[in-house]
Amino acid sequence: MFHFRALSRLLINETKTYTTTKRCLNKTPVLNTFWERDDKGGYRDDRKFPSFKDRMRDGLKELKQEIALWSEEVKEHFDADPIMICRAGEVDVAWQFENVDALNKWVVTSDTDNNEGFSKCSLDLTNSSTAIFSGNISMRTPKDGRVKRAGYCNIHTIRPRKSFKRETYLDWTSYNMLVLRVRGDGRSYLLNIHTRGYFDITWFDMYHYVLFTRGGPYWQVARIPFSKFFLASKGRIQDKQAPIPLDKVTTFGITAAERYGGEFNLEIDYIGLEYDPNHTEDFAYEMYKTPKYIVAV
């Protein structure tokens, strides 16, 4: 009788322990490979947000400006022609550098900003109403045991928005060409078209193409079809390619990052869009059907 009671108590204790352990396991969060914590992709975020009182004060200061922007949107909605006729051979300028306010639409970054290198760059206005993207690419890596390669500088536009801080997209569906008038230094630069979607799995989708420049004092006009851009995510070219969703463009950027360091200089006159009726290519890259779960999306 004594042994039976002792055995019963032992089984009850083991059952309690098992139940407690099971509950702890159920509380463990599920790991999702595609989930992203934020749109910075794991980089640190040093932003210090103001208090609620300060946000209310700043919001009231911007209220008049936002209402004026909203009224312009209403006028444009009623005045705009719903049918857009693309004029072949004419370039619609998207970004030009006529004054200092044009520079406020661009963000300048380098590997120094994230403590991943020692490159420096800037975007400056010239007396000829052009912008110069220049700097120094340093291939030296920090001695932290984490960074293996360094050396990049980048500029990109800020995301377009409507009134009252509503984010929106650039609609380029009526065009099939990207046109740039630049004066380079012989280096090659990477053109970036960011198409951030709603879901976190598409936050880092970016389409690239290489802009080859020639040194010397002469300007060059580069006309690059959108069908030539290839898809990458976080710097990795994807096996499964697709055309650019031209109605979901968020930002446009230019990156200086080559395998040799030194000074670089790219002067930009304008960046525009064009419709070429002679260009009928939808997508330049031939894709092959592969079994499921073989290619990386």
DSSP string, 155-170: EEEPPPB-GGG-B--B
Nearest to 231 by CA among 283, 276, 272: 283
Please give the helix or strand (H or E) that residue 106 lies within, else none.
strand 106-110
Secondary structure letter of residue 124 according to DSSP:
E
Spatial distance between the Cα atoms of 227 and 242, rounded to a whole number of angstroms: 9
Phi and psi, residue 130, nearest 5°: -130, 170
β-bridge mates for residue 197, sequence order: none
Question: How long, in residues, is the chain?
Answer: 297
Secondary structure letter of residue 4 according to DSSP:
H
pTM here?
0.79
Spatial distance between the Cα atoms of 179 and 270, rounded to a whole number of angstroms: 8
Neighbours of 115 (CB within 10 A): 13
pLDDT recorded at residue 71: 86
**Intra-chain end-to-end CA distance of the chain, in Å:** 66
DSSP three-state, residue 140: coil
Domains by residue range for the chain, with CATH = 89-274 (2.60.120.430)
Please give the helix or strand (H or E) that residue 220 lies within, else none.
strand 220-225
Secondary structure letter of residue 129 according to DSSP:
S
pLDDT recorded at residue 257: 86
List alpha helices for 102-211, DSSP H: none
pLDDT recorded at residue 47: 67
Tokens (6 digits) for 71: 């009224």
Question: In the Cβ-directed half-sphere of 218, how many Cα atoms lie within 13 Å?
Answer: 4
Are the C-beta atoms of 190 and 153 separated by less than 8 Å?
no
Tokens (6 digits) for 296: 């990386």
Give the pLDDT of the chain (297 residues) as one tens digit per residue. 444 454 445 444 444 444 444 444 444 444 445 667 777 776 766 667 788 888 788 878 888 888 888 888 887 777 655 445 567 778 999 999 999 999 999 999 999 998 889 999 999 999 999 999 999 999 999 988 888 889 999 999 999 888 888 888 999 998 999 999 999 999 999 999 999 888 888 888 999 999 999 888 899 999 999 999 999 988 889 888 999 999 999 999 999 988 888 999 999 999 999 999 999 999 999 887 777 777 665
pLDDT recorded at residue 89: 76
pLDDT recorded at residue 16: 43
Please give the helix or strand (H or E) that residue 58 lies within, else none.
helix 52-79
pLDDT recorded at residue 30: 45
Secondary structure letter of residue 292 according to DSSP:
T
Tokens 């200061």 sit on residue: 61
Neighbours of 92 (CB within 10 A): 14
What are the angstrom distances between the C-alpha of 117 and each of 137, 141, 149? 9, 5, 8
Spatial distance between the Cα atoms of 183 and 267, rounded to a whole number of angstroms: 5
